[in-house]
Amino acid sequence: MAKKQITRRDFVKAGLLTAAAAGLGPGVLKPTGLWAAEPKIKGPVKVGYQAIMSGTLAGYGEFHRMGAVMAADEINASGGIGGAKLEVEFRDSTLKAPEALKNARYFVDSWEADFLAGIDSSGQALALAPVMAQLDKPLMVTHAATEKLTEQEVYKNGIKQIFRICTPTYQDGNAAAFVAKDLPAKKWATISPKYEYGYTCWQMFKDTLTKLKPDAEFVAESWAPFGTTDFRPHINTILDAKPDGLYSVEWAGELIAMIKQCSEAGLFKSIKHVMLPVGAAMDVLEGLGDAMPDGLWMSGRYFFMYPDSPKNTEWVKAFHKRWNHYPAYVSETGYSTMYAFKKAVEASGSKDSKAVIQALEGMELDSPAGKRIFRKEDHQAMYTVPWGLTASDPKYPFKIMGKMVIITPEQCFNRPPFEGAECTPPFKS
Amino acid sequence: MLESLVHVCLAGLAQGMFVWLVASGLTLIFGVLRVLNFAHGSFYMLGAYFCYTLLSALGDNFWAGLLLGPLFVCAIGFVIERFFLRYVYHFELPYQLLLTFAFVLIFDDVVKVLWGAGSLGSPRVPGLAGSVPILGRNFPTYSLFIMVAGPLLALVLWLVLEKTWAGRIIRAASSDREMASAIGVRVPALYTAVFVFGTWLGALGGGLAVPYVGLLTPGMGETIIIEAFVVVVIGGLGSLKGAFLGALVIGLLSSFGTRFIPTFDMFLTFILMAVVLVWRPQGFFGEAS
C-alpha cells in the first residue's frame, strides 16, 4: 500500500500554514482573478448578442449595444473573465422568430459562442426555447418579458439553458395592479399591442386588480397592431367607454405617437389616471421631451434614477460620459448580463454550460439596478424596479420619475410552481 | 353615439387623406413609367427627415421645412431614375422591384447613420398644434388640415394632368410610349421629370407626416408603403382617381373597423383588396388589360 501517512511533520507544517494564512488575512491566499482561474478557462469567452437593429425599433438595438460594449470594455480592461478575454458580437434580430433561430445557430455553430444574450420579442424568446435546449448554451434574455418563457419553458419544460435578467410581465401586470388599487379609479380601459405581450399584460392586470379591489371594472379594450401610427380610432373607442383610468403597454415609437395623439384629443383631460408599464424607457422619454404630460404612472425594466446607490450613480455618470445618453433599460440589462456571465464563469471556474448554469442558479449579482437574485426554479432575476409619476425637472431635457412607489418582486412576481391561485399575488407572506 | 360616429368618421377621413398624399406619387409613377417603386416609402421617410432637419435649422419654421425638404429628396430621386432605374426599364418587372427594394435597404441605413437609430420627436406646428371641439370632443387641428390638403392636392394634380400642355404629354406617353416618341416627345426626359415629381409627392407626404404621426423613425416608410400599395391596387394601378377613392375607403374602413369590429380590423383592408382583385382585378378605375 502506497497510501501516504500524515506524519507529525506534515501536521505541523499544515498548522503553521493555517496560522500564517489567518495572520495574513483572507485577502491574500484566497485565489482571485487571473491567478485562480487561468488554468481552467481556455481561449476567449464569447457572447453572441442579438437585438433589434433595423426598422422603426433600431434605437433599442443601439441601447443594448451601448450597455454590453461598455461592460465588455470594462471587464477586459481589468483582466477579463478569469484571465480570458471577453468577446461580444452583435447581430440584428429583426424581431422575427426565424431570424432569431438563425442567429442563435450561427453564433453557436459557426462563431463558437459560449453564451447567448439579447432578444427583444416574446415571440422570439418562446420560439428560441427548444432550440436553446438543443444548442445547450446559456441564453440570458435581456428584454423579452413573457412570463411563459420562465414559467413554462424553464420551470415546467426544464429548459435550464434560459435565464432572464430583466423584469417580466409581472412588473407590467401585477405591479401595475398594486399601484392602481390605491388610485381613485374604478373603471379601466386599455389601448395595447395586438399580440401576445399586450394580451398577457392586460389579463394579468385585470386578474390581480380584481383580487386587490373587487369593485374594479374593465370597460374597454382596443388592440393596436404592430406598426400602428394612427391611434385616433383607438382613442375614440376609449373615449366612448368613459373610463377613469387608461392602462397601456404600448412601447417605443408607438407609445410616443399614442401619447401625442392622446394629448391632441384631450384624453388626459378626461382620463386622470394613466398607467404606462413600459413608459419609463429612455427612447420614449427623450422622444417625447416636453410633450410627455406630467402625472402619468410609468415603469420599465430599470430606471436610471433608481436605486440611489453609489454603484448606480457612478454607472449612470460613466454611461452618460461615454455615450451622451442616459442609460435605457436595455442598456442596463445588457451591461449586467456581461457581469452575470463573468461572475458565473469565475465561480464555477469554467465556461462549460452545465457548470455555468449551476453557478447562475440562485446567484446574487450586484448591478446598477441593485441586487439581483436569479431564482433557482425559473431562472428569473428578482430585483426591484420602481413605478413613478412623470414630472418635470430643470436638470433634464425630458420628464423623469417624480413620486416613486416601490412594489418588490416578492410582492408581485408569480411564484413556483406557477399553478393555482396561491402562486399569483397578493401573497400572505 | 352621434358624437362617437362623427369622430370615427373624421378619424377615418383624415387617415385616408394622409395615405392618399403618399399613394398619389406611387400611382403616378406607375401610371407613366410602369415601375412599381418600392423606394417610394424611402422617399416618404427621407422627406420627413429632411423637412425635420430643415425646420429645426430654420428656427422651427414648419412651412419653410415643408417647402425645402422635399427638394433634397427630389435630387435623390433624379439620381435614382437617371443613373439606375433607366437601365432596367427594358428588363422584366422583378428587376425593377429588386432594384427599388435595394434602395429601401440602403436608405434605411443611411438614415440611421445620419440621424441616429432612435426615434426623433416632432415639433409642434404653429397655428395647427391644438385641437378644436367638435360635438364636445376634441379633434386635432392638424388632422383637419390634412383633410383639406388631400383634396387640394387631388385638385391640383387633376388640373395639371387634364388642363395643361405638360399634362397632355404625360398622358400621351403613359398611354403609348412609342407613339409619343414618334411624334417628338422626349420620353426619357419626360420619365425623369415624372419620377422626380412622384418623388416630390412622396417626400411631401413624409414632411406632412411629421406632425401627423408625431415622430420620425428609421424604417417609417415600410409601414406606410404597404398601405399605399393596397390603396393603389384597389384604386387601379396608375389611376389617380382610383387612389383617391381607394384611400378614402381604406381610411374609413380601418377607422370603423377598429371601433366596431376590433377583432377583425387588421383583416378588413386585405379582405377588401382580395375581393377587389377577384371581382375587378384592374381595381376601381384601372384599365382592363
At residue A34, does pLDDT exceed 80? no
Q: Are A64 and A331 in contact (CB under 8 A)?
A: yes
- At position B204, the amino acid (one-letter code) is L
State how far the Cα of B121 lies from the Cα of B215, in Å rounded to an integer: 5
Domains of chain A with bracketed CATH: 45-168+308-382 (3.40.50.2300), 171-306+385-423 (3.40.50.2300)
Domains of chain B with bracketed CATH: 2-279 (1.10.3470)
Mean residue pLDDT of chain B comes to 91
| CA nearest to B101, candidates B29, B44, B38 | B38
Mean residue pLDDT of chain A comes to 91
Per-residue pLDDT tens over the stretch A326-372: 999 999 999 999 999 999 999 999 999 999 999 999 999 999 999 99
ipTM of the complex: 0.87
Helix (H) or strand (E) holding A414, with range, is none
Nearest to B117 among A58, A221, A223 (CB): A58
Q: Does A287 touch chain B (CB under 8 A)?
A: yes
User: Is A55 close to B219, i.e. CB distance below 8 A?
Assistant: yes
Buried b (16+ CB within 10 A) or exposed e, A312-326: beebbeebeeebebb
Cα-based distances in Å from A225 to A245, A253, B257, B265:
22, 13, 13, 9
Å between B142 CA and nearest CA of chain A: 9
Alpha helices in chain B (DSSP H): 2-33, 40-57, 62-83, 93-115, 141-163, 165-175, 177-182, 187-213, 220-235, 240-260, 265-279
Residues of B whose CB is below 8 A from A265: 131, 137-140
User: What pLDDT is recorded for position A6?
Assistant: 53
Q: Nearest 5°: CA angle at A405, between A400 and A408?
A: 120
Residues of B whose CB is below 8 A from A92: none
Residues of A whose CB is below 8 A from B220: 56, 229
Residues of B whose CB is below 8 A from A253: 119, 215, 217
At residue A26, does pLDDT exceed 80? no
For A158: left if phi > 0, alpha if psi spans -120 to 50, otherwise beta; the answer is left
Please state, for a pLDDT cut of 90, what percent of chain B lies above it: 62
Residues of B whose CB is below 8 A from A96: none
CA dihedral B211, B213, B214, B216 (to 10 degrees): -100
Q: Does B121 touch chain A (CB under 8 A)?
A: yes
- Which residues, in sequence order, are bridge partners of residue A217? A187
Count CB atoms within 10 A of the CB of residue A2: 3
Per-residue pLDDT tens over the stretch A243-289: 999 999 999 889 999 999 999 889 999 999 999 999 999 989 998 99
**Cα torsion angle, B168, B174, B179, B185, sign:** positive
Q: Does A417 touch chain B (CB under 8 A)?
A: no
Average pLDDT over residues A382-386: 97
User: What pLDDT is recorded for position A97?
Assistant: 94
User: Is B131 close to A260, i.e. CB distance below 8 A?
Assistant: no
Å between B109 CA and nearest CA of chain A: 8
Per-residue pLDDT tens over the stretch B24-77: 999 999 999 988 899 999 999 999 999 999 988 888 888 999 999 999 999 999
| CA nearest to A391, candidates A270, A290, A313, A319 | A290
Q: Which residue has the cell 441586487?
A: A371
Cα-based distances in Å from A214 to A218, A275, B220:
11, 19, 43
Å between A262 CA and nearest CA of chain B: 10
User: Is B15 close to A55, i.e. CB distance below 8 A?
Assistant: no
- Best B142, B215, B266 member to test A by mutation, with max A CBs in 10 Å, is B215
Question: What distance separates the 2 farthest-apart alpha carbons in chain B?
Answer: 62
| CA nearest to A50, candidates A105, A119, A107 | A119
Please state, for a pLDDT cut of 90, what percent of chain A lies above it: 82
Q: Does A283 touch chain B (CB under 8 A)?
A: yes
CA-nearest residue to B18 within chain A is A230
Which residues, 6+ apart, have CB-to-CB distance to A310 below 8 Å? none
User: What pLDDT is recorded for position B100?
Assistant: 94
| CA nearest to B266, candidates B274, B258, B277 | B258
Q: What is the DSSP string of B221-287?
A: HHHHHHHHHHHHHHH-TT-HHHHHHHHHHHHHHHHHHHHH-GGGHHHHHHHHHHHHHHH-TT-SSPP
**Cα torsion angle, B81, B82, B83, B88, sign:** positive
At residue A13, does pLDDT exceed 80? no
Å between B120 CA and nearest CA of chain A: 5
Residues of A whose CB is below 8 A from B223: 56, 227, 229
- Who has greater pLDDT, A226 or A55? A226
Cα-based distances in Å from B246 to A232, B11, B157, B228, B235:
20, 16, 16, 9, 5
Count CB atoms within 10 A of the CB of residue B252: 17
Residues of B whose CB is below 8 A from A287: 118-121, 215
Q: Does B144 touch chain A (CB under 8 A)?
A: no
Which residues, 6+ apart, have CB-to-CB distance to B5 below 8 Å? none
Q: How many contacts (CB atoms, under 8 Å) link A and B?
A: 121
pLDDT band at B289 (very low <50, low <70, confident <90, very high): low
Q: Does A397 touch chain B (CB under 8 A)?
A: no
Helix (H) or strand (E) holding A296, with range, is none
Q: Does A260 touch chain B (CB under 8 A)?
A: yes
User: What pLDDT is recorded for position A10?
Assistant: 58
Q: Which residue has the cell 415622430?
A: B215
Q: Are A305 and A273 in contact (CB under 8 A)?
A: no
Q: Are B96 and B36 in contact (CB under 8 A)?
A: yes
- At position B196, the amino acid (one-letter code) is V
CA-nearest residue to A288 within chain B is B121
Residues of A whose CB is below 8 A from B259: 233, 236-237, 240
User: What pLDDT is recorded for position A16?
Assistant: 54
Å between B270 CA and nearest CA of chain A: 14
User: What pLDDT is recorded for position A25?
Assistant: 47
Q: What is the DSSP string of A50-63?
A: EE--SGGGHHHHHH
Average pLDDT over residues A204-230: 95
